[in-house]
Amino acid sequence: MGILAGNRRRRWRAEHAETADPHQQVNQKLWILRLVVLAAFAALAVQLGRLQLVQGSHFQQRAALNQLRIEPMIPSRGLITDRNGVPLVANVPGFSAAIVAADIPADRDLQIAGGIEKLLGVPALETTLRIEAARKSRDPFTPVVIKDGLDQVTAFHLREQLPSLPGVQVVVDPVRRYLAGDVMSDVLGYTGRVDEEEFAALKDKGYIASDSIGQTGVEAVYEPYLRGQAGRKEIEKDATGRELRTLGEDPAKPGNDLVLSIDLDLQKKVAQLLAATPNGGQAAAVVMDVHTGEVLALVSLPSYDDNVLSGKIDETKLQQYLNDPNKPLLNHAIAEQYAPGSIFKQITGTAALQEGVATPSTTIAANGYINVPNEYDPSIVYTFPDWRTFGPLNFYGGVAWSSDVYFYYLAGGYHAYGQNFDGLGIDRLVKYAGYYGIGRKSGIDLAGEADGVLPSPDWKKQTFGDDWFLGDTYNMGIGQGFVAATPIQMVRITAAVANGGTLLVPRVVREVRDAQGHAIVPAEPKIESHIPVSPENYAIMRDAMTQAVAYGSANPAYQADLKIAGKTGTAEFGARHPDGTYDTHAWFSGFAPADNPQIAVTVFLLNGVGATNAAPLGSQILDYYLHRPQQQVAADAAAPAGQTQPEATP
């Protein structure tokens, strides 16, 4: 039965299919199509509702952000004058071509790159690659400079062509001009474009990609003051980057102005004197006010023109600078350390007086050398030479003649051949050298200062793995051996001797003023410490140094009408020559007037002899500063200030 019923059902179904009304079947299918239509629109409506109703406010924000662009307004950079108000820098307009990748229509890269090649000579391939890179970067709205340092005519031509070059901009930004050129570059430094790495860090501080920043010197150290505060401009832009209107503005605050402690007239004179020395090559000189630490002149030779490195860099000149063996880009007054030679005796001498190792009447027979037998094998004898044979010398004579033997005794003592003289010993010598700032930065407000070297038994052990010997103490006592210092470190030591033991932090910036001329960082001395040496002992040292100039080793610095105190140094360096001599640095470190010290000077020549080469220079510098006609300084200050700095006088 079951089988029969199944058969019947199957037959019925087959017949029914044949006889079923085809029209009704079609109608069923059409109803399905109607459902498909409704389903399709329902799907669209759901997604549309999700975008417009659920996420509507989110997309409204996105749309608003689309049109709004916030552009930084670059503040005008602070100006810099010398201590007498002579302007040293100017801001002049510089033109450059930049692209904003987001504003370049995707299919017009080649046309735009071609246009730029024709107008500016930048290869089209290079431009295309930079557009692509910028487009892929996180911020395609930031202008990318493709050519810097356009002259005014080219900039004008480019500006005319802008309507056919969407996404291209002529950026006008101030470029620094350095009015004094080479003479001031080691102090001022220069500004340059921020590179991509710097920009990443500065982006949040209101810098833009085509911005400039102080790279070295005062420009770098005082960047936060000079820069000012960037403003913001809210503008509405269309998709091609056309500015439609400004919605709001938060104007930029101009940077603060700097008054240097440098005296441009003196600076020029020092540079001129240094350049005129026959020894040439590398040289440095620093003049410092002994009461305030203000640096009146700071010269490093050879120098460079900071205009070459500011804004658009002249590559051939830069290569020349980089390849020059005399390293013009290095500031020899602060960034390189040398054996100080006999000018270090200021430290040994005052330490010995203070520690009671010596009194003014301590007399030592300076017979041209001393012999020191080996501690363990007395048959081995070391000889430490003097530069001359003097006979018996007291403290004044020892300093005035710069006797090495005298200072061997003071530094290391002498216990041989029946003599028993107790010296400072290395520990006390190190302690006093530390008081004077040997081995650490002077803290001058310039970038790239070197530390110098303050050697000690521990230091030697760590550096060379070797023990400290008596000979090392002798060498250090006369500023030879391991000890090394920069001219800026030495000038503040001399200033301390002159002012009675105040260790000052040298400053090249005297005062920071806001745009209205009010001092925000006032001119006041920055004292690092007071050296624990008594005024009486300093008076002895000053007398001794006055005698050095009056009749001693520093006699070439003598001036009939100016009482100068000073110390020369001739420091051996490098490899020993076959005849047993060495190359020598020439040093002079002194102050004037000797009985009422005002300024100190340290002169350094890479190659030379202290007395013959450095001392006359130091003397002329001191004499020039204290005896120059005052009206000349005033004239210098008045004339250019009125022309190039009109906004300074409201």
Binding site for other proteins (CB under 8 A): 25-27, 29-30, 33-34, 36-38, 40-41, 43-45, 47-49, 51-53, 55-60, 62-64, 66-67, 101-102, 106, 135, 140, 237-240, 244
In angstroms, give the least distance from the CB of 49 to other proteins.
7
In angstroms, give the least distance from the CB of 42 to other proteins.
9
Residues in the chain: 650
In angstroms, give the least distance from the CB of 140 to other proteins.
6
Residue 431 CB-half CA count within 13 A = 13
When the beta carbons of 45 and 539 are compared against other proteins, the nearer one is: 45
When the beta carbons of 22 and 578 are compared against other proteins, the nearer one is: 22
- Per DSSP, 74 falls in state P
Cβ–Cβ under 8 Å, residues 426 and 481: no
- Per DSSP, 76 falls in state P
Please state, in angstroms and rounded to a whole number, the distance separating the CA atoms of residues 148 and 400. Answer: 58
Query: What is the 3-state secondary structure of 476-504?
Result: HHCCCCCCEECHHHHHHHHHHHHHCCEEE
Token code pair at residue 346:
């200021």
The sheet carrying 231-237 orders its strands as: 68-73, 231-237, 243-250
When the beta carbons of 45 and 635 are compared against other proteins, the nearer one is: 45
When the beta carbons of 10 and 34 are compared against other proteins, the nearer one is: 34
Token code pair at residue 85:
């108000």
Token code pair at residue 511:
């005062």
In angstroms, give the least distance from the CB of 25 to other proteins.
7
Cβ–Cβ under 8 Å, residues 549 and 402: no
- Per DSSP, 68 falls in state E
In angstroms, give the least distance from the CB of 164 to other proteins.
17
Residue 433 CB-half CA count within 13 A = 30
In angstroms, give the least distance from the CB of 101 to other proteins.
7
In angstroms, give the least distance from the CB of 284 to other proteins.
53
When the beta carbons of 36 and 322 are compared against other proteins, the nearer one is: 36
In angstroms, give the least distance from the CB of 104 to other proteins.
9
In angstroms, give the least distance from the CB of 137 to other proteins.
10
Please state, in angstroms and rounded to a whole number, the distance separating the CA atoms of residues 650 and 647. Answer: 6
Cβ–Cβ under 8 Å, residues 175 and 119: no
When the beta carbons of 53 and 153 are compared against other proteins, the nearer one is: 53
Nearest to 557 by CA among 498, 616, 597: 616
Q: Taking each helix axis from N to C terminus, what angle separates 264-275 and 615-627, rounded to the nearest 10 degrees?
A: 150
When the beta carbons of 144 and 260 are compared against other proteins, the nearer one is: 144
Phi, psi values for residue 309, rounded to 5° = -100, -5
| 259 CB burial (10 A radius; 0-12, 13-18, 19+) | buried
In angstroms, give the least distance from the CB of 38 to other proteins.
7
**Radius of gyration of the chain, Cα coordinates, nearest whole angstrom:** 38
Contacts 24+ apart (CB under 8 A), 102-109: 102/135, 102/140, 102/141, 102/167, 102/241, 103/141, 103/166, 103/167, 103/240, 103/241, 104/131, 104/135, 104/166, 104/167, 104/168, 105/166, 105/167, 105/240, 108/166
Please state, in angstroms and rounded to a whole number, the distance separating the CA atoms of residues 207 and 8. Answer: 91
When the beta carbons of 42 and 201 are compared against other proteins, the nearer one is: 42
In angstroms, give the least distance from the CB of 22 to other proteins.
8
In angstroms, give the least distance from the CB of 207 to other proteins.
24
When the beta carbons of 30 and 639 are compared against other proteins, the nearer one is: 30
Please state, in angstroms and rounded to a whole number, the distance separating the CA atoms of residues 534 and 557. Answer: 27
Nearest to 251 by CA among 503, 71, 117: 71
When the beta carbons of 140 and 437 are compared against other proteins, the nearer one is: 140
When the beta carbons of 240 and 419 are compared against other proteins, the nearer one is: 240
In angstroms, give the least distance from the CB of 55 to other proteins.
5
When the beta carbons of 66 and 367 are compared against other proteins, the nearer one is: 66
Sign of the dihedral defined by the CA atoms of residues 133, 135, 139, 143, in that order: positive
In angstroms, give the least distance from the CB of 138 to other proteins.
10
What are the start-end ranges of the H helices in 576-629?
615-627
When the beta carbons of 102 and 416 are compared against other proteins, the nearer one is: 102
In angstroms, give the least distance from the CB of 160 to other proteins.
24
| 315 CB burial (10 A radius; 0-12, 13-18, 19+) | exposed
When the beta carbons of 41 and 382 are compared against other proteins, the nearer one is: 41
When the beta carbons of 52 and 463 are compared against other proteins, the nearer one is: 52
